[in-house]
Amino acid sequence: MTDPQTSADPTGTSSHGSGPFIAAIDQGTTSSRCIVFDRDGRIVAVDQKEHEQIFPKPGWVEHDAAEIWTNVQEVVAGAIAKAAQDIPGFTPADVKAIGITNQRETTLLWDRHTGEPVHNALVWQDTRTDALCRELGRNVGQDRFRRETGLPLASYFAGPKIRWLLDNVPGLRERAEAGDILFGTMDSWVIWNLTGGVNGGVHVTDVTNASRTLLMNLHTLEWDHKILASMEVPAAVLPQIRSSSEVYGTTNVGGLDGVPVASALGDQQAALFGQTCFAEGEAKSTYGTGTFMLMNTGGTPVNSYNGLITTVGYRIGEEAPVYALEGSIAVTGALVQWMRDQMGLISTAAEIETLASSVADNGGAYFVPAFSGLFAPYWRDDARGVIAGLTRYVTKAHIARAVLEATAWQTREIADAMTKDSDVELTALKVDGGMTSNNLLMQTLADALDAPVVRPMVAETTCLGAAYAAGLAVGFWPDTDALRANWKRAAEWTPRMDAADRDREYKNWLKAVERTMGWIEEEH
């Protein structure tokens, strides 16, 4: 996808406000970024650096955590330098706090005495723990730990990855049991290093990241010792679980001097926070290569019977935790990329809209991109992609339209599952991510959901969420109401589709989804 977020270099826009500021680090799957925000939540400086994706075997994905830490230091220094260049009178002391958001579930173990990783980090996409997860399910299956953790036993989550490392790195289990090894998702790794590393770095994680380990009890927000025993993970490696918004320590990295490190949130939770979804029933959806939709369910963790995940949304300091339901779609923007790179029907991602706009409807065609099975709410790994309803009438433009509709109907399926689980009707959907520049898609989404779709003025909701949480912790912003006041509507799409048309189209979509299932006959 054309990602307008990456081009947000604000040099040349002279109209930015003056200090003080909050910085946020986004340690993402493909890159690390640092953004400096002003009090209105506007971007004043950005720096970004990509890191290597390491694929040792099919299905294995790793990151070099030392490279990531080097990049994080560089982007913090880079963003501070850019701010100093663009803002008259700026000094690093104008940065009042720094927050962290991160790729979730990516798992690292390192030596607490040397600060050196014992192995590359195992990335969330890495599927090497598939078999281990099945084994851990015993006779119960995927839902063995769901009541405690809100999660299915799946290879994404950190717990089984820790176990794999302990089992496969020679001598590691002994060192871990002796207390020489620390575990962390990328938030913990970055915070430990920011706050001094081997020289007194704090070993902490926040509730949102901990809720993705399969090791934390959602109700007590503490490590679950029964699960630790089942998974054979020694408690000595685990970080302390803290809130998402509090001062963990201070940092001197990148030209900063004693600046509080004051927030940590998993990336999707940070986007929920940045979209200011602070009330029960408010939801956001982030449209990238895949899509993640989260709905605030308030103070209670809602069990899902419809294929969603129960997770912690955020916790501000000593306040009660806020929970969320999460639904993920594997293929959304990735389908547009597939049309561009594999099919060659378009030359840029944005052209999908041009092609799709050249016809008034899908011509009867439906495209279900179950390229690697169906995610929420179905969770069928025997499904494969299908284009249904083809006739001689159908052109590439109809297929382009079906591609955009696929994203809309997949979102509708998640929204329906959320309504069933929570009894809360979706009143509006806040959207972000690269695909929100596609006007036809956003209109189609409003039509499919029969609810307004709204885009905020800041595209960088993930970093903004981390900045907001850090700013709250140090009193830069007084409360969440002040953050809400910062949220500005940039665009809103209202449903225009006739109810009968919507019902017919959704029914056809569901028929097409049925036809994807059972394609793979044997699991391997």
Partner 1 sequence: MPGPIQSLERAAAILRLLAGGERRLGLSDVASSLGLAKGTTHGILRTLQQEGFVEQDPVSGKYQLGAELLRLGNSYLDVHELRARALVWTDDLARSSGEAAYLGVLHQQGVLIVHHVFRPDDSRQVLEVGAMQPLHSTALGKVLSAFDPVAHSEVAEGELAALTPRTVTDPAGFEQVLELTRARGWAADLEETWDGVASVAAPVYDRRRMPVGAVGVTGAVERVCDESGIRARLVAAVRDCARAVSRDLGAGRF
Residues belonging to the binding site for glycerol are 104-105, 156, 267-268
**Alpha-carbon gap, residue 238 to 234, rounded angstroms:** 8
User: Binding to partner 1 by residue 252, rule CB under 8 A?
Assistant: no
Q: 491 or 520: whose CB is closer to partner 1?
A: 491
Dihedral-angle region of residue 389 (phi above 0 means left; psi in -120 to 50 means alpha; beta otherwise): left
Q: 169 or 350: whose CB is closer to partner 1?
A: 350
Q: Is the peptide bond preceding residue 377 cis, with omega within 30 degrees of 0? A: yes
User: Binding to partner 1 by residue 86, rule CB under 8 A?
Assistant: no
Tokens (6 digits) for 177: 């049991």
Quick note: the x/- pattern for partner 1 over 34-73, rule CB under 8 A, is ------x-xx------------------------------
Residue stretches of the annotated binding site for ATP? 29-31, 289, 333, 337, 434
Nearest partner of 389 among 507, 501, 518, 496, judged by Cα? 507
Nearest partner of 67 among 47, 48, 53, 51, judged by Cα? 51
Q: 16 or 502: whose CB is closer to partner 1?
A: 16
With contacts defined by CB under 8 A, name the span among 6-14, 115-123, 256-264, 463-471 that binds partner 1.
6-14
User: Binding to partner 1 by residue 85, rule CB under 8 A?
Assistant: no
Nearest partner of 275 among 489, 426, 473, 422, judged by Cα? 489
Q: 83 or 231: whose CB is closer to partner 1?
A: 83
Q: 2 or 395: whose CB is closer to partner 1?
A: 2
Candidates 53, 91, 114, 348: give the one binding partner 1 (CB under 8 A): 348
| 455 touches 490 (CB < 8 A) | yes
Candidates 85, 114, 354, 372: give the one binding partner 1 (CB under 8 A): 354
User: Binding to partner 1 by residue 12, rule CB under 8 A?
Assistant: yes
**Alpha-carbon gap, residue 291 to 285, rounded angstroms:** 7
Quick note: the x/- pattern for partner 1 over 410-449, rule CB under 8 A, is ------------------------x-xxxx----------
Residue stretches of the annotated binding site for ADP? 29, 33, 289, 333, 434, 438
Q: 43 or 186: whose CB is closer to partner 1?
A: 43
Tokens (6 digits) for 466: 């981390």
Q: 23 or 459: whose CB is closer to partner 1?
A: 459
Enumerate residues 6+ apart whose C-beta is below 8 A from 65: 108, 110, 117, 120, 121, 186, 189
Total of chain residues touching partner 1, rule CB under 8 A: 35
Cβ 52 to partner 1, closest distance in Å? 23
User: Binding to partner 1 by residue 235, rule CB under 8 A?
Assistant: no
Cβ 209 to partner 1, closest distance in Å? 28
Q: 457 or 520: whose CB is closer to partner 1?
A: 457
Tokens (6 digits) for 362: 């899908």
In degrees, rounded to 5, the angle at the alpha carbon of residue 176 between the alpha carbons of residues 171 and 182 is 125
Tokens (6 digits) for 270: 């940070």
User: Binding to partner 1 by residue 10, rule CB under 8 A?
Assistant: yes
Quick note: the x/- pattern for partner 1 over 447-476, rule CB under 8 A, is ----------xxx-----------------
Applying the rule CB under 8 A, the residues between 476 and 495 that interact with partner 1 are 488-493
Cβ 167 to partner 1, closest distance in Å? 46
Q: 138 or 488: whose CB is closer to partner 1?
A: 488
Candidates 13, 18, 114, 220: give the one binding partner 1 (CB under 8 A): 13
Q: 168 or 348: whose CB is closer to partner 1?
A: 348
User: Binding to partner 1 by residue 8, rule CB under 8 A?
Assistant: yes
**Alpha-carbon gap, residue 426 to 327, rounded angstroms:** 14
User: Binding to partner 1 by residue 5, rule CB under 8 A?
Assistant: yes
Determine how many CB atoms are found less than 10 A away from the CB of residue 74.
Answer: 17
Q: How far is CA 220 from CA 210, 215, 223, 241, 300, in A?
A: 12, 12, 8, 11, 12
Q: How far is CA 54 from CA 16, 126, 155, in A?
A: 39, 11, 18
Q: 240 or 358: whose CB is closer to partner 1?
A: 358
Tokens (6 digits) for 187: 């938030």
SS3 track for 302-344: CCCCCCCEEEEEECECCCCCEEEEEEEECCCHHHHHHHHHCCC
**Alpha-carbon gap, residue 522 to 520, rounded angstroms:** 6
User: Binding to partner 1 by residue 218, rule CB under 8 A?
Assistant: no
User: Binding to partner 1 by residue 349, rule CB under 8 A?
Assistant: yes
Determine how many CB atoms are found less than 10 A away from the CB of residue 488.
Answer: 10
Residue stretches of the annotated binding site? 29-31, 33, 104-105, 156, 267-268, 289, 333, 337, 434, 438
**Alpha-carbon gap, residue 291 to 312, rounded angstroms:** 18
With contacts defined by CB under 8 A, name the span among 12-20, 188-196, 299-307, 371-379 that binds partner 1.
12-20
Enumerate residues 6+ apart whose C-beta is below 8 A from 459: 4, 5, 8, 432, 433, 436
User: Binding to partner 1 by residue 2, rule CB under 8 A?
Assistant: yes
Site residues (CB under 8 A) for partner 1?
2, 4-5, 7-8, 10, 12-16, 40, 42-43, 348-354, 434, 436-439, 457-459, 488-493
